[in-house]
Structure formats: structure tokens, C-alpha cells
């Protein structure tokens, strides 16, 4: 796998993490046709449902006096897609995320590659270079590592939460290694 040697930007100024043997990139391009069909069949991602769900979630957020969050479509999709476009479930997920940000504060602010370099270099969180046969991004969390602190754990959780739309479409597989804490 290898440690993160550097965090760089491509020609389009999109960040990527160079793991030596592989590069991990946030995917901004549209998902392929087979993935879009999967979204329609399994997640109810249909034009009428999608737009209505975005509208309803936006209204639910605006009705929450203590939530001051972005209201753009892309932000709404981060919470709607994993909840199969049910706005109430997405609001619950959003509140859980918001509460995590309040609880762990600084670890969840400005999640950019440069700030997360230590998470990858200490190998607390490893992203495997290839997806599995179902298109899922695979993360390995060394939760039992003696060197993992609460802030790094929260940052690692934030990285896994903030994967691009294809991760929301296919899901992810997170493997947590607790072995080190008992056997090192």
C-alpha cells in the first residue's frame, strides 16, 4: 500500500493523494450509465423523486432554527442518496453528521487533503487503490493503533463520510482492525 508521499493537484486543480503505488482521487465526473441505472433501481434516484426530495430536505433544514448549513443540491445529495431520497431520513442523517461536527469540532473543519496528511501518513486510514466488484471504495481503519488519537479518529471518520457521489451510490466497505490494540 505505502504511505502518502504527497498531496498534489492535477491539471484541473483537483486534489489527489499519492500513496506511491496508487493515487486516490475524489471523483467529480458523472457516474457511468450502469451506475446511474443502479441508482434508479436501488435508490429511487428518479428525476421527479430526486428534485422533490431535494426541495423537501431544503425546507426541513430551513425549519430547523439551530442548523445553518449549505442548501445547494450537491450538499443535499450527500444525505439524500444514502437515505434513498427520503427527506426525513436524510435530515436525521444530516443531524447526526452535524452533531459529530459539534462534538469533534476542529477535526471536522475544513476537511482538505493537506490537513489530513497525518491520517494517511500514520496509516490510520488506508484507501485501497481499487474498488471492489460492486464499485465500492474500500477503506481500512486501524482502529486498534496505539498512535490513533480521538482527533485523528474523527478526521478519519470525516474522510470516509465525505467521499464523492459514487461512494454514496455504491456504498463503501470499511474494515476496522482492532488487533493491534490487544497484540502490540
How sure is the predictor about 115, in pLDDT bands with cuts at 50, 70 and 90?
low
Claim: this prediction has a pTM higher than 0.85: no
- Give the residue among 180, 148, 137 at the shortest CA–CA distance from 17: 137
pLDDT of residue 164: 39
pLDDT of residue 3: 44
Alpha helices in the chain (DSSP H): 33-43, 47-63, 73-80, 87-104, 113-121, 150-161, 165-170, 179-183
Q: What are phi and psi of 37, to 5 degrees?
A: -65, -40
Residue 87 has pLDDT above 90, yes or no: yes
Can you say how many angstroms the Cα of residue 62 is from the centroid of all Cα atoms in its chain?
24
**Total residue count of the chain as it appears in this document:** 184
CATH pick for 32-105 out of 2.60.40, 1.10.3470, 1.10.8, 1.10.287: 1.10.8
- Extents of the domains making up the chain: 32-105
Amino acid at each position: 500500500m505505502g504511505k502518502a508521499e504527497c498531496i498534489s493537484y492535477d491539471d484541473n486543480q483537483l486534489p489527489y493523494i499519492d500513496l506511491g503505488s496508487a493515487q486516490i482521487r475524489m471523483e467529480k465526473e458523472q457516474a457511468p450509465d450502469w451506475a446511474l441505472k443502479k441508482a434508479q433501481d436501488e435508490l429511487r434516484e428518479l428525476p421527479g423523486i430526486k428534485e422533490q426530495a431535494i426541495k423537501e430536505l431544503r425546507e426541513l433544514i430551513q425549519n430547523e432554527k439551530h442548523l445553518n448549513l449549505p442548501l445547494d443540491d450537491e450538499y443535499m445529495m450527500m444525505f439524500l442518496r444514502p437515505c434513498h431520497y427520503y427527506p426525513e431520513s436524510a435530515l436525521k442523517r444530516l443531524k447526526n453528521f452535524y452533531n459529530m461536527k459539534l462534538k469533534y469540532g476542529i477535526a471536522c473543519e475544513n476537511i482538505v487533503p493537506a490537513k489530513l496528511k497525518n491520517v494517511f501518513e500514520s496509516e490510520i486510514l488506508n484507501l485501497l487503490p481499487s474498488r471492489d466488484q460492486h464499485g465500492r471504495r474500500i477503506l481500512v481503519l486501524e482502529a486498534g493503533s496505539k498512535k490513533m488519537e480521538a482527533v485523528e479518529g474523527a478526521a478519519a471518520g470525516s474522510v470516509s463520510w465525505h467521499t464523492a457521489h459514487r461512494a454514496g451510490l455504491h456504498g463503501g466497505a470499511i474494515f476496522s482492525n482492532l488487533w493491534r490494540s490487544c497484540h502490540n
